[in-house]
Structure formats: structure tokens, C-alpha cells
Amino acid sequence: MNIQPKIEPGSPSTNHVILDRDEDETYLMETPHNFEDKTIPDLVEVLRGACLQETFDKVESVLVSKDLELRNKIQLLEQNVEMEKLGRLKAEEEVKKVQQRYLALLKEVKIGGLVDDRETIEVLRKRNVQLRELCEKGKREVQNYEAMFKEAEIARLVDRDALKEVKKKNIEFECEVKKIEEKRMEDRNELQVLKLKYDELVSRVLELKEKRVEDGNALDVLRKMKDGLEHEVLELRRKKVEDEKSLVFLKLKNGELEYEVLEFRKLKEKWEEDTNDLGGIREKNAELENEVLELKKKWLNDSNALEELRSKVRVLEDDKKASAEIEIKNGELKQSVNNNLATISKLKNENNNLYIKFIGLLERVAKVEDDTKLLMSVDASGGRNNDGEAAIASTRLQNKWGMDALGASSASGRLKMEKDIDDDQRMSRGVHEKNTISGIAAKNGHPTPSSSIAVDMSKRKHSMADTETSSSGSSCCDLSYLDDLASSFEVSEAKKKKM
């Protein structure tokens, strides 16, 4: 599975060719990277181009080192700011001392009542006011620079190129601060010179107090000194204008620095977003690796399952062929079964017809039994004439049974055409006939002509059916049974004649 990095629209990485993961790994392993010399956007572009743990670790170490360097630089800047604060406090103390001396001199001058030196005093007051304004402006500038340093500390400028530019601007700023400090030193020197001159003036005023009357030319000297002081005041005003111009220039640079600080803040926000995206990418990378492992396992299981399914499909194809053959044979068997069922239905119909005829024969046998009983009663009561009538009746019965035998032979002829008659039906029919005939013999107690006729008729019937249907088992048993009945009948007739 190929993993492609996420590319944002408008990013510089869209111009690069997207490679597969393996190609990215080989490319990044082969190409040397100087991560320390790269900027944050370049490092983020490298991370977007490759999802490798080694590159993440290297970039993270570089960013940590840059963060430490920036913190150290911020600490140095804080130390410089503290030194400047100390210098400012010292300057404020010196200014306070100068103001105290100035006030003391004013009191002395007022007490002395020097009217001519009032102009010089006013000039000195104006100069003092200007110096105070300059001090306040310097304080404000220092406060602005402190705020800028705090913002820079919060932003933590990570980009090395930006840090270089900040270093350059910081150096320029330090140079300008040094120039301002030099100007302050010059102003301090001028103040000291003015203080010295003021002291000299005070000493001279004291001398003038002593020599007010004697030395009238001292006023001219003081006037000349006044002119010199006015000239110095003009020069200080020019310097003030120059300082104001430099302050305007510094304000412009301060605005540029503030704009750059805002840009650095935006870069920091982007960097934080990129770090969050990198964390999400790492999590997604881990999830994708786990999914790849699971897919590999599933692929192995699926390959084994495919092999098993192929073997099962082969077995099923063999079974399908065998089932097709079985279906063909089953169709043939169904046809034969249908044919057999048709023949069986026909045989059942014929069997029912034969059963009806058999029931009619049983009724006739019952009538014959009644006739035999009547004949026996006639034989017992009547003479030989009655014997002749009995013989005639027996011949009639024989003719009648002959007709029945012909009907039975016609039924057996039908059975000859249907060769699939069940042996069980014939066995049951023969047993039933045996039972009926044996029942007749048991009722009479001794064989009669009618019973002998029934035995002969049944013997003929079974002999004709057995010869036509070629069934050996049941017919042989029936014929032997009928032979036994006939032999017993003949024995009984012989005994009767002897009687």
C-alpha cells in the first residue's frame, strides 16, 4: 500500500514529484540534509515530503536546539535591558542632583538680587526643561524597547534567517542606543561644563558681590558669557532637532520591527499548527502501519481459504458430475417405476375382479354344501333310486364346476399376459383357498362327493395357473396339498363301499 503525503494548496511542495513510500525512504536516506541550515518552512516541507521517524527526530532536535539558542539570546537581551535600566537610573539620579544644585543656585541668585543674570537663569531653566523632556523621551523609548523585547520573548523567533535579520536590526538598534548614550554622555559633559561654568558664574557672582563697586567691567564679562551660553543653547537646539529626526527614524524602525514581530507571531501560529498536523500525521502513520499488518494477515488467511475453496470446488465439480449421472439414472428409474406402477394398477384391477369372482365361488361352494347336506339326508332316508338322483345331481354339479373352471382358466389366461404379478398375492390367495376347502372338509367330518368335486376344481384351477405363470414355489405346495386331500377322499370312499 502506497502512502502519499498530504499537500496543502499553494504550498511549495506542490511543485515536487510525489513518490511512493519506498522511493521516499531511499531518496531521503541517500540525499544528505543539513537540517540546521534550513528554515522552518523548509523543514516542514521535508516533513511533508516524507513520513519517517528518523527525519521527525532530526527535525525535532534541530527545532529544540534553535529554541534553546533563542532563549539564550533572549536572556542576553534581557541582561542588556537590565544594564540599560541601571544606566537610566544612574542618569536619573544625576539629573536629580543637578536639579537640586540648580534650585540651590536659583535661591542664592534670588537672595543675591542679581537682576542682570536673570536672562541667563531663564536660559538655563529652558535648557533644564529640554533636558527633562529628552530624559522622558528616552524613558519612553526604553519602555517601548522593553515591550518589544517582551513580545520577542513571547513569540520566540524560530527562523534562523529571521534571527539573523533581528540580530542585524538589534545591532543597529544597539548602535543607535550607543549613539544616544554617547549623546547623553555629551549632554552630561555639557551639563558638567555648564555646571562648571555655573559654578564659575556663582564664584564670579560672589566676587562681583564683593567687587560690585570696584569692578564695573564684570558685567561686560558676564554679558559675553551670556552670549556664549546663548550660542551653546542654539547648538543644543540644533542637536535637539537632530535628535528628534533620529527619534522619528527610530520610530519608523520600531514600526517595522512591530510589523515583523506580528509576522513572526503568525509564523509561530503556523508552526504550532504544523506541529499539531505532524502529531496527527504520526498517529495516522501508526494506524496505517497497523492496518497494513492486519491486511497482510488477512491476505495470508484469504490465500489459504482460497486454496481450500479451490479444493472444495474441485470436489463439488466431481460431485456435480456424479449427481448429473445419478439424475440421469434417476430419470430412467422414474420411467421404469411409472411403467411398473401402471402395470401394478392394471394387476390390482384384475386382482379385484378375480377376488369378486372368488367370492362368487365361495357362495356357490356354500350352496353346494347345503345341497350335499340335503343329499346326505336323502341318502340316509331313501333307496338306491335316490342314489341315482344323487349321481345325476353330482354330474350336474360337476358340469357346473366345469364351467367355473373354464372361467378360472380364462382369468389365468389374462394373468399370463401380465408376468409381474406379486407372489405374495398368489400365496395369500392359495392359503385362503386351502383354508376354505379344509374348513368344508372339517364341517362335513368325512369327505363327500361335493367336497371331492371342489378339491378337483381347485386342483385344476391351481394346476392351470401354475403352468401358465411358471411360478414354482407356491403352486407346488398347493398341488401337494390338493393331492393329499384327493387321496384322503378316495380312502374314505373305499371305506364307505366296504361298509
Per-residue pLDDT at 476: 45
Residue 72, pLDDT > 80, answer yes
Share of the chain above pLDDT 70, in %: 52
Gap between the Cα atoms of 228 and 45, Å rounded = 68
Strand, coil or helix: what is 265? helix
pLDDT for 304-359, tens place per residue? Answer: 888 888 888 888 888 888 888 888 888 888 888 888 888 888 888 888 888 888 88
Same domain, 288 and 386: no
Minimal CA–CA distance to 158: which of 33, 282, 280, 41? 41
The answer to whether residues 406 and 262 belong to one domain is no
**Final residue in a domain of this structure, among 248, 267, 292:** 292
Answer whether residue 354 is part of any domain.
no
Instruction: Compute the mean pLDDT over every residue in the chain, rounded to the nearest whole number.
Output: 67
Note whether 116 and 222 are within 8 A (CB).
yes
**pLDDT over 60 at 129, yes or no:** yes
117 vs 89, 190, 247, 273, CA distance in Å? Answer: 33, 20, 34, 70
Regarding whether 389 and 286 lie in a shared domain, the answer is no
Question: Same domain, yes or no, for 288 and 398?
Answer: no
Closest alpha carbon to 297 in 305, 286, 309: 305
Considering only 39-43, 107-111, 265-269, 280-284, which range has the smallest mean pLDDT?
A: 107-111
Handedness of CA 470, 473, 478, 480 (dihedral sign): positive
- Return the number of other C-beta atoms located less than 10 Å from residue 370's C-beta: 11
Distance CA 466, CA 308 (A): 64
Same domain, 400 and 267: no
Please indicate, yes or no, whether residues 138 and 28 belong to a single structural domain of this protein: yes
**How many percent of the chain have pLDDT more than 90?**
0
Residue 303 has pLDDT above 70, yes or no: yes
- Judge whether 321 lies within some domain: no
Question: Which range has the top average pLDDT, 60-64, 141-145, 301-305, 427-431?
Answer: 301-305
pLDDT single digits (tens) 103-123: 777 676 666 555 555 666 677
Answer whether residue 117 is part of any domain: yes
Residue 74 lies in a domain: yes
The answer to whether position 310 is within a domain reads: no
More confident position, 158 or 173: 173
Domain co-membership, 403 together with 283: no
Cell triple for 437? 376347502
Tally DSSP H helices, then E strands, for the chain: 10, 0
Please report, in angstroms and rounded to a whole number, the separation of the first and last CA atoms in the chain. Answer: 122
Residue 438: pLDDT over 60: no
238 vs 13, residue with greater confidence:
238
Which pLDDT value is given to residue 367? 87
Alpha helices in 113-159 (DSSP H): 118-155
- In this structure, is residue 335 part of a structural domain? no
Confidence of residue 395 (pLDDT cuts 50, 70, 90): very low
153 and 264 both lie in a single domain: yes
Q: pTM, whole model, 2 decimals?
A: 0.21
CB neighbourhood size of 251 (10 A): 12
- Considering only residues 47 and 278, tell me which one the structure prediction assigns the higher pLDDT: 278
The per-residue b/e assignment along 77-97, b for 16 or more CB within 10 angstroms, e otherwise, is beeeeeebeeebeebeeebee
Query: Are 265 and 410 in a shared domain?
Result: no
The answer as to whether 35 is a domain residue is yes
Among 8-12, 86-90, 197-201, top mean pLDDT goes to 86-90
Question: Could you report the per-residue pLDDT of 170-211, keeping only the tens digit for each?
Answer: 677 667 767 777 777 777 777 777 777 767 777 766 776 676
Q: pLDDT grade, residue 133 (50/70/90)? A: confident
Q: What is the pLDDT of residue 159?
A: 53
Residue 2 has pLDDT above 80, yes or no: no
pLDDT of residue 272: 85
Same domain, 194 and 53: yes
Residues 411/428, Cβ–Cβ less than 8 Å: no
Q: If you average pLDDT over residues 60-89, what whole number do you get?
A: 81
To which H or E segment does residue 388 belong?
Answer: helix 384-417
Same domain, yes or no, for 256 and 388? no
pLDDT in tens, 443-499: 444 444 444 444 455 555 544 444 444 444 444 444 455 556 556 656 666 665 555
- pLDDT of 4 > 60? The answer is no
- Final residue of a structural domain among 241, 259, 292: 292
Residue entry with cell 378337483? 456
One domain for residues 280 and 419: no
Q: Provide the pLDDT for residue 484.
A: 61
Nearest-angstrom CA–CA distance, 445 and 69: 143
In a domain, 80, yes or no: yes
Split into its structural domains, the chain has a count of: 2
User: What is the mean predicted confidence (pLDDT) over 367-396?
Assistant: 65
Q: What is the pLDDT of residues 14-35, one digit of tens each?
A: 333 333 444 444 444 444 456 6
Count other Cβ atoms within 10 Å, centred on residue 389.
14
pLDDT score, position 446: 46
Domain range spanning residue 158? 12-292
246, 267, 292 — which closes off a domain?
Answer: 292
Closest-CA residue to 476 (of 485, 486, 467, 488): 467
